[in-house]
Amino acid sequence: MKSICFSLSLVACLLLGSCSDNDHTYNNPNLLDVTVYFTVNLSLLQFNPLKFPGNAVYVQGYGNGGVIIASTGPDSYVAYDAADPNHPLTDCSRLKIEGLEGVCQCDDHNTYNLFTGTVIPDKSAGGDYEYTLQPYQVIPNGNGTLTVTN
């Protein structure tokens, strides 16, 4: 009986010890760990494009480089930090919205899909795309507002 308990304990320790924290979303050395929490009113003119799938808007003053919110379908949204996650924070590393893509303004013009947050290698010249865009949670409140938070 002791050997069974010892074996189960050993297996549990091995399983717990073998887990690694390899989540690039939260361990990116290029981005600061900042708290994001704000609400947008979809009836305001600047956020009106989010009422239609396939549109994105930039919100300044939150995250590392602002926040990009994209409408992915009826009442479905994604939000990402507007700072290129594969660059240290600089003036040029803020993404510019170009259709459904976010484009870094640095020389390599890293380009990211705003629906998935992943880099588009064919349009990027950086070469090292270890990190995806930093995602934020978007909560539709049912009253024409969205809460964006992490």
Does pTM surpass 0.85?
Answer: no
Tell me if 139 is assigned to some domain.
yes
Structural domain including 128 reads 29-149
Q: What are the tens digits of pLDDT across the range 3-46?
A: 444 444 433 443 344 444 444 445 899 999 999 999 999 999 99
84 inside domain? yes
Kindly report, residue by residue over 38-89, the tens digit of the pLDDT: 999 999 999 999 999 999 999 999 999 999 999 999 889 999 999 999 999 9
H or E segment at 139? strand 135-140
Number of domains within the chain: 1
CATH number for the domain spanning 96: value is 2.102.10.10
What is the rounded distance in angstroms from the CA atom of residue 117 to the CA atom of residue 119?
A: 7
